[in-house]
């Protein structure tokens, strides 16, 4: 019997190779609204949050109107960078297919907007692998557990049979807050040394390692 039945994936930096687009779009938006520059490392550190939460984390002292303007500008730049150019990590599609064939229920929990995730699904053709998804603009942002709670309720799978897979500490902290186990991938937004502070069951060098790791649990 499988230890886990529901596998919940973060999207950016875990399934989709999109971090460079996020950093570029964020830096362009910051310049446009005239806020102090943030480094690539500072931007990577907030990936996983919803955009309004990310803006607040980056600029806690900025006024809310400026932060809203930055978020709007970011969305336009990100759309410009990624339209027709959404790319999955090399082994992501094959991994999702294999996991589906092995009987796992797959879902997505992401800091993206619903519009953004649906566009990414359409461009990559992987929506059919996922039975449910939750986005930051339709529920509470990570690291609050609400995304996972809603997915577990929708799919009728309990916390002890749910596994969160992500590349940021927000993913892993959300899992902890929901009473869910987690696996970290160390090729995304944050290094393994940072992710290990949140006690994932394992860290993966590439997503394609996940099926074998799961099989070894049985």
Residue ranges covered by each domain of the chain: 6-16+88-217, 19-82
> Rounded distance, CA 67 to CA 58, Å?
9
Beta-carbon count within 10 A of 104 CB: 21
Ramachandran angles phi, psi of 46, nearest 5°: -105, 0
153-194 pLDDT tens trace = 999 999 999 999 999 999 999 999 999 999 999 998 888 888
> Rounded distance, CA 193 to CA 190, Å?
8
CATH number, domain 6-16+88-217: 3.40.50.1000
- Position with higher pLDDT, 81 vs 3: 3
Tokens of 192: 């393994």
Strands 181-185 and 162-166: parallel
Tokens of 10: 């973060």
36-90 pLDDT tens trace = 999 999 998 888 888 888 899 999 999 999 999 999 998 888 888 877 778 899 9
Beta bridge partners of 100: none
CATH architecture of 19-82: Orthogonal Bundle (1.10)
- Position with higher pLDDT, 218 vs 152: 152
């Amino acid at each position: 019997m499988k230890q886990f039945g529901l596998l919940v994936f973060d999207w950016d930096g875990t399934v989709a190779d999109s971090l460079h687009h996020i950093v570029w779009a964020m830096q362009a938006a910051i310049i446009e609204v005239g806020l102090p520059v943030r480094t690539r490392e500072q931007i990577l550190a907030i990936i996983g949050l919803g955009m309004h939460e990310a803006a607040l984390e980056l600029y806690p002292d900025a006024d809310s109107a400026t932060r809203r303007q930055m978020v709007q500008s970011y969305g336009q730049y990100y759309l410009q960078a990624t339209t027709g150019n959404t790319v999955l990590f090399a082994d992501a599609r094959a991994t999702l297919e294999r996991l589906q064939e092995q009987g796992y229920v797959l879902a997505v929990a992401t800091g993206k907007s619903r519009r953004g995730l649906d566009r990414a699904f359409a461009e990559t053709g992987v929506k059919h692998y996922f039975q449910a998804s939750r986005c930051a603009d339709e529920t509470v942002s990570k690291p609050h557990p609400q995304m996972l709670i809603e997915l577990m309720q929708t799919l009728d799978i309990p916390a002890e049979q749910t596994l969160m897979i992500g590349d940021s500490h927000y993913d892993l902290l959300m899992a902890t807050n929901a009473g869910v186990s987690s696996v970290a991938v160390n090729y995304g937004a944050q290094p393994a040394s940072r992710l290990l502070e949140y006690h994932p069951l394992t860290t993966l060098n590439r997503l394609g390692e996940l099926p074998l790791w799961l099989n070894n649990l049985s």
